Amino acid sequence: MYKNIFINQCGYLPWMQKQVTFRTDRPVSFNVHTSSGACVFTGRADRRIENPSAGETNYVGDFSAVTENGRYYVTAEGLGESDTFIVGEDAYKDTFQKAMAFFYLQRCGYDLPEKAAGLYGHRACHTKIGRLYQSEETRDVTGGWHDAGDYGRYVGPGAMAVAQLLYAAERNGALCGSYRCPENKAAAPLPDYLEELKYELDWMMKMQREDGTLYHKASCHNFCAFIMPEDETEEIVLSPVSVTATGDFAAVCAMAVRFYEKYDPAYAGRLEAASRKAYEAMKKMELPGGFKNPQGITTGEYGDSCDLDERYWAAAELYNAFGDQQYRADFEVLAQKKIYQGYGWADMGSYGNLAYLNTMRPVDEDLRTAIRQAMLSLADELLQTAEADGYGTALKPGQYVWGSAMNAANNGLHLYDAWKLTGERKYLDAAAAQLHYLLGRNCLGLCFVTGCGTDAVKHPHHRPSGFLGKAMPGMLSGGPCSWIADETIKSMFTKETAPAPAKCLVDMTGSYSTNEVTIYWNSAFLQLLASVTA
């Protein structure tokens, strides 16, 4: 169905700013109705926005006055009606549970019982002992989460996912504490949420070499066909060590200590020892140009030519966790040269900034001020972009790239950081607008999280979903990508005939550049969701 009215299909908390976008070239009077049809609000959208990202004209209306719990939809004469949505304190409960259960369903080397996993249940996969690249040496690297639509496991992206999920728990303990593992196990020492993160942390510890460095990834030589995970039976190969994997591991283990020490001091001690060992190893590593796939391996490279931001994050995180002055000195030397920012797997600076800003340990106050100013400057740029966009997203036309949905979520995190630093509501509203964009207030009228809202992505690039013919719920699609980069989207468009950047998504299984899923896209979504709803 062609749409002209766009809202967050999952809904809004009562106190949230609520905006609706109309695809039209004239001002609009609109009504908000209950699901029974009763009109409870009438408004007018007078604000015209020329939207180059979507190649259209928009008008934006506000219905924040609607705060009563219920299910609603928006109408406007000549434009039809919107998808339905909820207003209520539990508006995101189902979405959160599904998006978090995705990590359980991505477990590798684990029997997923049908009772818990439903259609996606399967026996333990990838249980063979791994072999070091071009070596006869073997190593047990079972466990962890499948990274994406493929079955590889990668340390850097895994560390990013765990870090974001830890921040989600720190900011919104009530929401994250409500998560229940689909297995519905008997009471355990760890909350279900931390138990899930431990599954990935345990695997990463298996990837640590005796000298403290981390193998970059564990995968087969090549991507497999669309088969279930237990049917990928090729040899598991450990790719060589990398600085980025080692630094990310050191940082996330240090970060995790404070979450686990009150439940399992012995495990927290293991995390600390592994973190310190990795950090010392990282300091001795020099691999110019970053990790590159070795010959014969074509799975996800996650190459990163700059490892300074990983060193930056690790130093700040270890100082916050353990207090050694060497860690502080290492961070401050790097930060005096450049303040790094970013929440993506290739740009980890913002994790380091939060660790340094939030530590209770002594810091250089001038440097702390400079970091705050850099964070606010970035947020102001994003705010300006969001306010000029018809859908409130902080993406410019040239920023609809591979994984744009993750970038939208992480932009929301930068805006949230500014709200925490200033208390100015404009930043919180703009951060929440990135969530609304992902959940349906976008020019495609799609909820980018499978199985959520009223009109979600249905054919993600995800092997179990593709094999079974039904999208696993709770997965964030990669989002529009104007690169026209895979064969499926190339069969639909050329670069000359492609739609506007924000419309370059093909909801087809083959379109990995626009419709794949990853653990670290989900973690970005969940950190944003937990943050703006706390």
Q: What is the pLDDT of residue 185?
A: 75
Distance of alpha carbon 397 from alpha carbon 228, whole angstroms: 37
Predicted TM-score (pTM) above 0.95 = yes
Here the tokens at position 318 are: 């270890």
Mention every residue, 6+ apart, whose C-beta is less than 8 A from residue 186: none
- Single-letter residue type at 452: C
DSSP code for 387:
H
DSSP structural state of residue 136:
S
**Can you say how many angstroms the Cα of residue 175 is from the centroid of all Cα atoms in its chain?**
17
Q: What is the reported pLDDT for 1?
A: 67
Q: What is the pLDDT of residue 367?
A: 98
Reference 144, options 161, 167, 163, 122; nearest CA is 161
Token couple for 166: 């830890």
**pLDDT score recorded for residue 383:** 98
Q: Which helix (H) or strand (E) holds 319?
A: helix 308-322
Kindly list the distances between the CA atom of residue 118 and the CA atoms of 94, 331, 454, 456, 473, in Å, as whole numbers in the listed order. Answer: 17, 47, 22, 20, 11
Amino acid in the structure at residue 22:
F
Listed in sequence order, the residues at least 6 apart from 225 whose beta carbon sits closer than 8 Å to its beta carbon are none
Around 77, how many Cα atoms within 13 Å sit in the side-chain half-sphere? 7
Characterise 286 by phi-psi region: left (phi > 0), alpha (psi -120 to 50), beta (else): beta
Strand, coil or helix: 216 = coil
DSSP state of 160: H
Give Cβ neighbours of residue 163 (< 8 Å, ≥ 6 apart): 251, 252, 255, 351, 523
- Give percent of the chain above pLDDT 70: 100
Which two tokens mark 40? 């409870």
CB-CB contact of 31 with 42 (8 Å): yes
3-state secondary structure of 347: strand
DSSP state of 84: P
Classify 523 as helix, strand or coil.
helix
DSSP letters for 265-318: HHHHHHHHHHHHHHHHHHHH---TT---PPTT--S-----S--HHHHHHHHHHH
Unique residue bearing structure tokens 């740009």: 347
Number of neighbours of residue 451 by Cβ within 10 angstroms: 19
pLDDT at 22: 98
Q: Say what angle helices 404-422 and 365-387 make with each other, to 10 degrees.
A: 120
- What stretch of H or E contains 440? none
Catalytic residues: 150, 461, 507, 516
The pLDDT value given to residue 245: 98
Whole-angstrom distance between the N-terminal and C-terminal Cα of the chain? Answer: 34
d(CA 275, CA 253): 5
Q: Is 440 left (phi over 0), alpha (psi -120 to 50) or beta?
A: left
Average pLDDT, the chain: 97
pLDDT of residue 51: 98
Mean pLDDT by 10 residues, the chain (534 residues): 94 98 98 98 97 98 98 98 98 98 98 97 98 97 98 98 98 97 84 98 98 98 98 98 98 98 98 99 96 98 97 98 98 98 98 98 98 98 98 98 98 98 98 99 98 98 98 98 97 95 98 98 98 98
Determine the pLDDT at residue 188.
Answer: 78
